[in-house]
Chains A and B, each alone.
Chain A
Amino acid sequence: MALHKPYIDIPGTTIFDAEQSRKGYWLNQFCFSLMKAENRARFKANERAYLDEWPMTEEQKQAVLARDLNRCIAAGGNIYFLARIGATDGKSFQQMAGSMTGMSEEEYRDMMVAGGRSIEGNRYLGEDGNAQPQHQPQGSGAAKGGRA
């Protein structure tokens, strides 16, 4: 029997389940290694060389090099592991989370101060809320006409 996944109909949301975890095992373990200061230094000194020490897919490596967290998550990354990359870059959780929406830092911060993203229209795929696929990317990312 396949894994029961009642959560696949939530827009803009990837649940880190066993399947994602298998796919992202080495990507996440690479991220975990960045908890050590000496590894952060080695990664920063030569990102590609450090990534090549890990049995990650090329797509995973490219997603890391591009700092594209949506791509990292699609490739099996989990946000708490991926946060180590942001920490290595000196970024906050808010900067990391915001980067996945297409909004600028300022737009995302303003949304949070105004009470956060509304749940309305964002519970199920097929509704019309601002997290739905048909409305991506959001904010100034939309004006740039590409994925953030």
Chain B
Amino acid sequence: MKKTMLVAGVLAACVALAGSGMAVQTVQVKGSDTLVHLSSAWAEKFMQANPGMEVAVTGGGSGTGISALINGTTDLANASREMKASEKATIEGQGLKVQEYTVALDGIAVIVNPSNPLASLTMEQVKQLYTGQISKWAGVGGGEGKVLLYTRDSSSGTFAFFQEHVLKMKDYSVKSRRLASNSAIVQGVAEDLNAIGYVGLGYVQEAGNKVKVLKISKDASSPAILPSVPTVKDNSYPISRGLFVYAKGEPQGAVKAFVDFMLSAAGQTIVEEMGFVSK
């Protein structure tokens, strides 16, 4: 007798839960680890303003997010790189259009130890350093010593972006040390006199005087530019990128509301707060 009552109670609870679940609209967001903190911050503010809607954010990487979008297991995909043509074609093959939103901008700063006499590099020089073509600082007009390369791990979207746009699709030098996070790179560069590394703009402010940010010029005849919010925004700093959110087909309901929120003035304020550059 007691048992049946228990079962009935559990059943009733399930029904009640299911009922309330129907009232809440859930948005699934998945993808880039660069974007995951920013995305969570958006979700938090968005849910405060819209009690009937729920946003669930997960990382996993740009590639993972886009595959999930293709498979229909997420509503929105975060990506710190542009969608590949092959990925776009797959979605279009399903009869749906790819919607791309540039939700924020990011600059990648090249950093060296504060004791390094160098002040600027050209894109070509950065490439030569990172591919191992030049292995001594003297080769780029710097001081003594062998260049110690720090990069992110190959799973990082920043690693891939840097490889595509700075290394011009060449492979990284096999001697480059692969570190697991932006802060590990800052730590390494701060400690090792001959080190060079690259990190997202947000981490430069955090690092303060522990590292020196290099000015970068597009080519030998262009001016060297220091990465900053204005120079990333006007695209004069050469290593800038967009951060994207992708949807499959025209967003509806809660998904549309969330996209609109990210692009709104309130959403873009959060971008600045999280150390990225608003568009």
B partners with A: no
Interface set of A (CB-CB < 8 Å, partner B): none
